[in-house]
Structure 1
Amino acid sequence: MLPCFVMLDLETTGGSAVHDRITEIAAVRVENGVEVARWSTLVNPGVSIPPFIQSLTGITDAMVEDAPTFAQVAPRLLELLDGAVFVAHNVRFDHGFVVNELARLEKPLKIKTLCTVRLSRKLYPQHKGHGLDAIMQRHGLHTLARHRAMGDVEVVLQWLQLAQAELGAEVLQREAKTLLQGSASLPPLLETPMEDIPDTPGVYLFYGEGSIPLYVGKSVNMRTRVLSHFQSASKVAREMRILQEIRRVEWRETAGELGALLLESRLVKELQPLHNRQLRKERQLSAWMLHAQADARPLVQLVRMDDVDATAMGQLYGTYRSKRQAMDALRLLADTHQLCPQALGLESGKGACFAHQIGRCKGVCAGHEPAALHRVRLEMAMAQHRLQAWPHPGRVGVREHHAASGRTDIHVFDRWCHVATVHDEVSLADVQQSRQQVLAFDLDTYRLLLKRLAPPLGRERAVFHLPGLSS
């Protein structure tokens, strides 16, 4: 297939190359079509293996208890990979784990990669499934060690031999070399060396000839993500346009995914990149506020988020980019739940509304339904759109640390708003003592924090209360 490659497979404690660890490695080195080395080992991950993973792979905590650590097996792995192409089924997964494990040892890995999933798509485009199970079923391949590293390596090697027999060695070599060149191909006018882009979390910015970015993106591994843009250019029109225009890449590192998400959202709104369609700056973001009095007319008032104090978040319903969007949403609620358009301010007039006359309103306007009951039904109809009140007594901090880079970020939030990001305890103390006069509500930040800050703090050790002033 290739002059020199290593077929590699890993078993791990989970799917995140940043947070999970390797439990088993298997590698077979092939030179000029001949196997020259074969190696496999269990690896002590230093953490417990989740029950689901144990049942899937058959690798238990007891099996890896006396196994060597990754640091102990790294020299042998690097020896096998030296001068070879890193080949794996879904290579980004295996390569990502190896890169992160080596980064923890301060040993960068620069190596070409080839994905046999992509190779299968090239060789057998008539088939839809290209996962290992699909390939085994399609070609009648068998193994007694599925989901064990060497068992999976042997299956892929069997498949390569079968593909060569079916399609010919020339076809296999040509498609493998095409993929290898494609994975290494870069935009013709790119001035930034790819090896300079760190494989850490952060935000990357694509620039053309002008000062406005073409695109802003985020990733837990910026180098890998940037390469994926270039690799998908042949299939995605937007990626092709970026590929043709890009001249340089800039980046800003963060300690983790949360910091990258926050920074991406802010930079997109500030810089307005040409090819970003989401996270754009919200203009006149508004929400419905429900009147406390059941007989008030109208029962709801459309308010701009900029004009609402952050403490009133729990009294708001929905977030809308325009008045028209808000009115359409309210009309749909009224129609679905037989609410009175007059009472909601959607229609003017007195007496029975038109909706009541055609049986689409239960008649609060005509005295046929108590106002209090109508208001309760309205509140229930709007409940799923209600914004959450800030669940903490004051400011909270979220700490992120990246072991490989040594970077620590502490993100400070108050009432769903991002107050600041600092990197040490001194700066954190300054933020605690400061009072920010205006906290700007941002819908993207609110949605992001709902998943991370709404549960009790005890569920997330990286989140902690901050004593001192609230804004």
Structure 2
Amino acid sequence: MTAVAIQGTLDEIGMPLVSTTFVVVDLETTGGAPDGNEITEIGAVKVRGGEVVGEFDTLVRPASAIPPFIAVLTGITDHMVASAPRIGSVLPAFLEFARGSVIVAHNAPFDVGFLRAACDLTGRAWPAFQVLDTARLARRVLSRDEARDCKLSTLARLFRASTTPNHRALADARATVDVLHGLLERLGNVGVHTVEELALWQSKVTAAQRQKRHLSEQLPHAPGVYLFTAPDGETLYVGKSKDMRTRVRTYFTASETRPRMTEMVSIATGVTGIQCATPLEAEVRELRLIAERKPRYNRRSRFPERGSWLKLTVEAFPRLSLVRQVRDDGSAYLGPFGSRRIAEAAMTAIHEAVPIRQCTQRLSASPSSAACILADMGRCGAPCTGRESATEYAVHVDQVREAFTGDPGPLVRRLLERITVLAGQERYEEAAVRRDRLATLVRSLVRSQRMASLASVPQLVAARRREVGGWELHVVRYGRLAGAEVTPAGVDPRPAVEALVATAETVRPAPSPLPAATAEETECVLRWLETPGTRLVRVDGVWTLPWPGAAGYSAVADARDDDQRAARPFADRRPLRPLR
């Protein structure tokens, strides 16, 4: 057999450093973080093939005064920026200057963070720049013997920069250019010749992990699901992407910073891709594969069967019960809940609003026992003693059933009234606890009613126009994705719809309100259906939400979230680690 040489694509080869345009940028600002601080100067140098091809330099007038210590550090005063343009005028010019380039900065998160914040402030989208950080790169390339630290001034001296950094934007950018060229010269000697290989050198992954980049080469640039596998064939991790090859490559670069993913990549010896017609199909297949194979490096969605439900039992005097399964027994169900703790919070909220019994023994129409303390507290009508007849008790049961399937207004209003009373008595902690339970209940009711509405539809066909032309088509049956397809631009999609309906998966309904899929899958489908631009092509049956329904009270839960954010605006989510 004669070997045939195949030329790689530009995507596979990478962007050659010699022909890549870099825009080296530096900013001066009024403070150390974008939140509450502003840009006062932008300096940038455009270089290609080692030559300077352009420069950008401007002062920026901030909305507030420059702090004195910043003025001393940078030499930029309020008088200097008094006639300078605002960031709204400067930013478009800079983005045009940098368009199509690789952004380079020393301590890039600082400069890029301010530029992103400026885009948000002026209502502009941040372009998808590739970013290189000379500080991070230096830490990977240089030893302690060469440079005691990676400050710009230190590196400028090491590489004999023609410009001395002085905390002015253009001068610092010019010095960073010389540092970049010095680092690239070092890396060229070890075989780094493309931007992609340069990005790898920024990462903290080992050389052995870098060498596994070839595992992504067999994957297509298409939506789908990818599976990392161990030497014995065990599935280690399942993920999804709109572009499988590009996404899997990031596991071998600086883009991937999760410690458990670093460990997973060190074990993996193969990556398998399953191409999907649409991103929604990829999202659904990912959930199904995680639930089926339970990969040890996936944290979410591994045990959908462990969800909890609140059940309103069918007996002479019904009560609420926490169960794992939904049965076709005529009971009303609310759920699923992600944890027992959340389910118990929702149950407690219902008990606080409705005097439904909380005892677990089976009661008959004839009284047979003494009342418990809840009856003395007014939290139960004591049907066990005959104080409340079956007909009177049924009023409470109907309110709970109506809250599950329709309008929870009476329950919500009672709980809000009690919270208001507690707040008026300055019992704020008790009021906050009840507010949290109410928010949990409302969220659960909204979620359950949305899923139940889609789960009752035998078949729904929907379409959305693709950015490249053509249509995404999906068939949904009883809340389960049964088929997915795409049509090319300029082609009538109606024949494809008929073919997809004819070949879609046959789905049997589950006991109400359970969809014929996991709750996560049905929520994925709902998000896609509710995205602007999605069109309903066919609906067999009725897809509707109750009105009034739980969705009308979503503001109650949203208000709780707003209160919590206001109380902890800068919650620190970093894990605590022991000092060594």
TM range (shorter): 0.5 to 0.7
1:7 maps to which residue? Answer: 22
Alignment counterpart, residue 395 of structure 1, candidates 435, 459, 469: 459
Alignment of 1:101-180 (within 5 A): 114-115=132-133, 123=150, 159-161=172-174
How far apart, CA to CA, are the structure 1 residues paired with 2:535 and 2:199?
43
Report SS of the residue matched to 1:463: strand
- 1:158–1:260 CA distance, 2 compared to 1 (3 A): farther
CA contact (8 A) 1:218 1:261 kept: yes
Alignment counterpart, residue 35 of structure 1, candidates 52, 64, 76: 52
Does residue 1:385 correspond to 2:444, yes or no?
yes
- 1:206–1:113 CA distance, 2 compared to 1 (3 A): farther
Alignment of 1:232-251 (within 5 A): 236-251=258-273
2:227 maps to which residue? Answer: 205
2:545 maps to which residue? Answer: none
Alignment of 1:279-318 (within 5 A): 279-283=301-305, 285-290=307-312, 296-300=316-320, 307-308=327-328, 315-318=332-335
How far apart, CA to CA, are the structure 1 residues paired with 2:354 and 2:54?
74
Alignment counterpart, residue 506 of structure 2, candidates 436, 445, 465: 436
1:355 maps to which residue? Answer: 374
More displaced stretch, 386-395 vs 271-280: 386-395
How far apart, CA to CA, are the structure 2 residues paired with 1:397 and 1:59?
48
Q: Give the CA deviation at 1:277.
A: 1.8
Q: How many residues were matched structurally?
A: 369
Alignment of 1:257-296 (within 5 A): 257-283=279-305, 285-290=307-312, 296=316
CA contact (8 A) 2:225 2:273 kept: yes
Does residue 1:222 correspond to 2:240, yes or no?
no
How far apart, CA to CA, are the structure 2 residues paired with 1:407 and 1:210?
42
More displaced stretch, 413-422 vs 193-202: 193-202
- What's the CA shift string for 1:169-199, capped at 9, x where partnerless? 9799989998651459662562735455444
Report SS of the residue matched to 2:296: coil
Report SS of the residue matched to 2:379: coil
Report SS of the residue matched to 1:332: helix
- What's the CA shift string for 1:407-430, capped at 9, x where partnerless? 964221133222222346556424
1:445 maps to which residue? Answer: 521
CA contact (8 A) 2:308 2:323 kept: yes
TM-score, structure 1 normalization:
0.57
Does residue 1:411 correspond to 2:474, yes or no?
yes
Q: Any unmatched runs of 5+ in structure 1?
A: 11-25, 40-54, 65-72, 100-111, 126-138, 142-154
How far apart, CA to CA, are the structure 2 residues paired with 1:383 and 1:265?
26
1:147 maps to which residue? Answer: none
Look at both structures and tell me which one has the larger radius of gyration over its CA atoms: 2
1:181 maps to which residue? Answer: 201
**AA matched with 2:498:** A
1:129 maps to which residue? Answer: none
- 1:306–1:467 CA distance, 2 compared to 1 (3 A): same
Q: Give the CA deviation at 1:117.
A: 9.2
- 1:194–1:333 CA distance, 2 compared to 1 (3 A): same
Q: Give the CA deviation at 1:35.
A: 1.0
How far apart, CA to CA, are the structure 2 residues paired with 1:257 and 1:226?
16
Alignment counterpart, residue 336 of structure 2, candidates 315, 319, 328: 319
How far apart, CA to CA, are the structure 1 residues paired with 2:361 and 2:349?
11
Does residue 1:332 correspond to 2:348, yes or no?
yes
TM-score, structure 2 normalization:
0.48
Report SS of the residue matched to 2:214: coil
1:22 maps to which residue? Answer: none
CA contact (8 A) 1:411 1:421 kept: yes
Report SS of the residue matched to 1:361: coil
Does residue 1:342 correspond to 2:358, yes or no?
yes
- 1:168–1:450 CA distance, 2 compared to 1 (3 A): closer
- 1:422–1:246 CA distance, 2 compared to 1 (3 A): same
How far apart, CA to CA, are the structure 2 residues paired with 1:235 and 1:435?
39
- 1:56–1:235 CA distance, 2 compared to 1 (3 A): same
- What's the CA shift string for 1:139-188, capped at 9, x where partnerless? 965xxxxxxxxxxxxx5x654446689x9997999899986514596625
How far apart, CA to CA, are the structure 1 residues paired with 2:171 and 2:479?
54
Q: Any unmatched runs of 5+ in structure 2?
A: 1-16, 26-43, 57-85, 120-125, 141-149, 153-165, 193-197, 404-410, 413-440, 488-493, 510-515, 543-580
- 1:172–1:307 CA distance, 2 compared to 1 (3 A): same
Report SS of the residue matched to 2:476: strand
| Percent identity of equivalent pairs | 21
CA contact (8 A) 2:200 2:253 kept: no
- 1:30–1:361 CA distance, 2 compared to 1 (3 A): same
- 1:174–1:352 CA distance, 2 compared to 1 (3 A): farther
Report SS of the residue matched to 2:209: coil
Q: Give the CA deviation at 1:215.
A: 0.7
1:464 maps to which residue? Answer: 536
**AA matched with 2:536:** F
- What's the CA shift string for 1:349-373, capped at 9, x where partnerless? 844223344x372545464895356
How far apart, CA to CA, are the structure 2 residues paired with 1:352 and 1:446?
44
How far apart, CA to CA, are the structure 2 residues paired with 1:233 and 1:77?
22
**AA matched with 1:444:** E
- What's the CA shift string for 1:112-137, capped at 9, x where partnerless? 96246967999579xxxxxxxxxxxx
- What's the CA shift string for 1:52-88, capped at 9, x where partnerless? xxx985699xx99xxxxxxxx9xx988xx7xxx6647
Q: Give the CA deviation at 1:236.
A: 3.2
How far apart, CA to CA, are the structure 1 residues paired with 2:136 and 2:465?
34
How far apart, CA to CA, are the structure 1 residues paired with 2:138 and 2:284?
38
Report SS of the residue matched to 2:47: strand
1:21 maps to which residue? Answer: none
